[in-house]
Amino acid sequence: MALDATFWVAVSFIIFIGGLIYLKVPQKINELLNKLILDIKNEIDESEKLRTEAKILLDNAQKKLNTAQSVSKEILDQARKDSDRIIIELNDKFHKSSEIKKNSAQTKIAQMKNAAIKEIKNTSVKIAVDSVKKIIGTSVDKSKLDNLFEKNLDETKAELKKINL
């Protein structure tokens, strides 16, 4: 039996495999691979936990954002309503104030008109009385003058009472 190189390669291979088994290399490789698998699983689990926590935080932040947006919308709506109400109130106050001022001015105008008419009447009566006195004093004697004066005085008083009523 000739021992050729293939035989020695086969024997070397068997000795090598036997040495690996004797030194428990496959078990160590298996343990190392199992440890790596376990580490990877732990990292995956940890990343899954972090992802879940991040999702919860994101959901909470989104809820807070939605709440803040709805609150800000409510505040803006309330501010619009308040500003509309204030504008309407100020507009009403302005119109009422202008109406009061208008009525006051009309009342003052009417009072001034009445005062002017009264002044004109008083002045015209005084002028008429003075004129009548002069005319009567120059053209009529004293007894007729006294009778006429009394008669005109009574008529003037009656007319003034009618005007003042």
pLDDT in tens, 44-86: 999 999 999 999 999 999 999 999 999 999 999 999 999 999 9
Query: How far is residue 22's CA from residue 28's CA, in Å, rounded to a whole number?
Result: 12
pLDDT, position 42: 95
Would you place residue 88 in the very low, low, confident or very high pLDDT band (cuts 50, 70, 90)?
A: very high
Indicate if the pLDDT at residue 136 is higher than 70: no
Q: Spell out the SS3 assignment of the chain.
A: CCCCHHHHHHHHHHHHHHHHHHCCHHHHHHHHHHHHHHHHHHHHHHHHHHHHHHHHHHHHHHHHHHHHHHHHHHHHHHHHHHHHHHHHHHHHHHHHHHHHHHHHHHHHHHHHHHHHHHHHHHHHHHHHHHHHHHHHHHHCCHHHHHHHHHHHHHHHHHHHHHHHC
Would you place residue 100 in the very low, low, confident or very high pLDDT band (cuts 50, 70, 90)?
A: very high
Closest C-alpha to 156, from 164, 145, 115 = 164
Q: Rg for the chain (alpha carbons), in Å?
A: 62
Query: How far is residue 135's CA from residue 141's CA, in Å, rounded to a whole number?
Result: 11
Among the residue ranges 23-37, 107-121, 128-142, the one predicted with the least confidence is 128-142
Give the number of other CB atoms < 10 A from CB of residue 35. Answer: 10
User: What percent of the chain is predicted at pLDDT more than 70?
Assistant: 93
